């Protein structure tokens, strides 16, 4: 008989099914055993009654351990009160009887859980987060595909920095000198717009960030989008529509997961375009009024991002930052960079960084020289401004912060399957 998945139990009411999975929890009271089974698609209760099973099956029940892998054959019934489906067990077999499981029902600290990430991934909350992550990824692809974007995979091994040189993972690259792990595919997908118009990449990026905060990983996933003939304003509209689409899909697909996470869904329901907009100057003024000691010209810290969102219940674009604290490739309007940070509510911080790009060869060349960037490594990037340069904009979405926001999970380490941080590379 074919395996049935727990998500399909309802459609199999009163039928005999074969379930395969892991025993998330179990208990026995006299002649009756209850197994909480997890099979990847969901969770279900399976009931073993000593009087209606053979001796072999009851023996397995008596030897049951948490996280044992099992095969269950039984009949699907409806829970007497809840909208849940159960299985009345006929036979129960071990694939493997699990040893004593290290993650118990008692509270564990984050270090212990991270050390056991390979097992912790099985916990219902972690199951829910990764399924929301999957929805977020698919929703981003769906939105961009429907909007005429082409996916262009950018390289991970690169000869130069994209986002400043202080956070680079460096390695020796044969006889070619040094190579660096990519911090963002942006510069490469800028090259692709002249061939494809609107493009994106989506993959792992690396930053040797010394920051030990709940928002920083050393390896995380970024979706970079780049659009020919988009100015700063048009780029903001695209960003808010994209994020609104993601929230809509999470609400559509992940009701059960959001329940497990005890997520306040009204927060997600409010994620609709248009988002709030402030200039950097307005944001600084508001922060000072809220009691921050931030000064004009300074970058916003994590605390400032959280503080300012007290005023907003949906995302905020902070646009037009002082050029000197932003990246070399941003187009300027006087002393200001035509850029934006999208800040999420509830302390999830900056989720998107974007800008219109400098499209003049002369200005970009001068900037690379002034910033003392290695000119040879940027020759190709500069050349893009010589052969049919156009106004263009783009942005990068940090996947883990976006998932954390959707899930209401404050620390990004729970939003990626195997987090890499300055003090963690195992497992």
Q: Considering the complex, state which of residue 243 and residue 287 has its C-beta at the smaller distance from ligand 4AD.
A: 243
Q: Considering the complex, state which of residue 163 and residue 358 has its C-beta at the smaller distance from ligand 4AD.
A: 163
Site string for Mg ion, 344-363 (x = CB under 5 A): ---------x----------
Contact residue for ligand 4AD among 21, 345, 394, 419 (CB under 6 A): 394
Q: How far is the CB of 65 from ligand 4AD (least distance, A)?
A: 37
Number of other CB atoms surrounding residue 277 within 10 Å = 16
Number of other CB atoms surrounding residue 73 within 10 Å = 16
Site string for ligand 4AD, 125-154 (x = CB under 6 A): ------------------------------
Q: Residues near 83 by Cβ (< 8 Å), separated by ≥ 6?
A: none
CA distance 200 to 315: 22
- If contact means CB under 5 to 8 A according to the sort of partner, which of ligand 4AD, Mg ion, none does residue 401 touch? ligand 4AD
Residue 398 sits in the site that holds ligand 4AD (CB under 6 A): yes
Q: Residues near 38 by Cβ (< 8 Å), separated by ≥ 6?
A: 6, 21, 22, 23, 24, 122, 127
Which window, 98-106, 212-220, 383-391, 418-426, contacts ligand 4AD (CB under 6 A)?
A: 212-220
CA distance 317 to 296: 18
Residue 245 sits in the site that holds ligand 4AD (CB under 6 A): no
Contact status, residue 186 vs residue 327, Cβ threshold 8 Å = no
Q: How far is the CB of 168 from ligand 4AD (least distance, A)?
A: 12
CA distance 410 to 397: 17
Q: Considering the complex, state which of residue 315 and residue 353 has its C-beta at the smaller distance from Mg ion.
A: 353
3-state secondary structure (DSSP) of residue 261? coil
Residue 326 backbone dihedrals phi, psi, to 5 degrees: -120, 175
Residue 74 sits in the site that holds ligand 4AD (CB under 6 A): no
Number of other CB atoms surrounding residue 332 within 10 Å = 17
With tokens 């990246």, the residue in question is 327
Q: To which H or E segment does residue 20 belong?
A: strand 16-29
Contact residue for ligand 4AD among 400, 409, 414, 415 (CB under 6 A): 400
- If contact means CB under 5 to 8 A according to the sort of partner, which of ligand 4AD, Mg ion, none does residue 354 touch? ligand 4AD
Which window, 115-123, 215-223, 279-287, 369-377, contacts ligand 4AD (CB under 6 A)?
A: 215-223
Contact residue for ligand 4AD among 71, 84, 209, 346 (CB under 6 A): 209
Q: To which H or E segment does residue 74 belong?
A: strand 69-78
Site string for ligand 4AD, 311-350 (x = CB under 6 A): ---------------------------------------x
Provide the strand spans (E) within 334-417: 336-344, 349-356, 392-398
Contact residue for ligand 4AD among 321, 328, 378, 395 (CB under 6 A): 395
Q: Considering the complex, state which of residue 325 and residue 382 has its C-beta at the smaller distance from Mg ion.
A: 325
CA distance 33 to 275: 52
Q: Considering the complex, state which of residue 39 and residue 224 has its C-beta at the smaller distance from Mg ion.
A: 224
Joined together, the tokens standing for residue 413 give 């380490």
Q: What is the largest CA-CA distance in the chain?
A: 85
Residues that bind Mg ion (CB under 5 A): 353
Residues that bind ligand 4AD (CB under 6 A): 162-163, 183-184, 186, 207, 209, 216-217, 220, 222, 224, 350-354, 394-396, 398, 400-401, 412
């Amino acid at each position: 008989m074919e395996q049935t998945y727990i998500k399909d139990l309802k459609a199999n009411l009163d039928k005999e099914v074969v379930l395969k999975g892991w025993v998330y929890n179990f208990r026995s009271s006299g002649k009756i055993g209850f197994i909480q089974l997890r099979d990847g698609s969901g969770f279900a209760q399976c009931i073993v009654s000593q009087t209606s099973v053979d001796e072999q099956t009851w023996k397995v029940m008596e030897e049951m351990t948490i996280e044992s892998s099992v095969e269950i054959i039984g009949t699907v019934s409806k829970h007497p009160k809840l909208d849940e489906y159960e299985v009345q067990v006929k036979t129960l077999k071990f694939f493997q009887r699990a040893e004593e499981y290290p993650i118990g029902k008692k509270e564990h600290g984050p270090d212990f859980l991270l050390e056991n990430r390979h097992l912790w991934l099985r916990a219902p909350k972690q199951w829910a987060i990764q399924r929301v992550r999957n929805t977020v990824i698919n929703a981003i692809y769906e939105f961009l595909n429907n909007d005429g974007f082409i996916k262009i995979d950018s390289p991970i091994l690169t000869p130069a920095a994209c986002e400043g040189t202080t956070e680079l993972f460096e390695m020796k690259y044969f006889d070619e000198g040094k190579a660096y792990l990519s911090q963002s595919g942006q510069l490469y997908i800028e090259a692709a717009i002249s061939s494809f118009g609107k493009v994106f990449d989506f993959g792992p990026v690396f930053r040797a960030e010394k920051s030990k905060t709940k928002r920083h990983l050393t390896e995380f996933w970024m979706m970079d989008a780049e659009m020919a003939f988009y100015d700063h304003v048009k780029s903001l509209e695209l960003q808010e529509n994209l994020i609104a689409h993601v929230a809509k899909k999470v609400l559509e697909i992940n009701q059960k997961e959001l329940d497990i996470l005890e997520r306040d869904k009204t927060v997600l329901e409010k994620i609709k375009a248009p988002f709030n907009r402030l200039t950097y100057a307005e944001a600084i003024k508001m922060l000072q009024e809220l009691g921050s000691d931030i000064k004009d010209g300074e970058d916003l810290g994590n605390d400032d991002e959280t503080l300012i969102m007290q005023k907003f219940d949906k995302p905020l674009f902070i646009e037009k930052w002082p050029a000197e604290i932003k990246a070399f490739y941003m187009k300027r309007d006087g002393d200001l960079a035509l850029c934006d940070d999208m800040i999420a509510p509830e302390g999830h911080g900056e989720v998107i960084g974007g800008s219109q790009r400098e499209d003049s060869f002369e200005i970009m060349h001068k900037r690379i020289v002034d910033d003392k960037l290695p000119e040879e490594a940027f020759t190709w990037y500069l050349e893009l401004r010589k052969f049919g340069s156009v106004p263009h904009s783009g942005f990068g979405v940090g996947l883990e912060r976006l998932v954390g926001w959707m899930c209401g999970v404050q620390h990004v380490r729970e939003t990626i399957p195997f987090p890499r941080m300055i003090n963690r590379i195992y497992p």
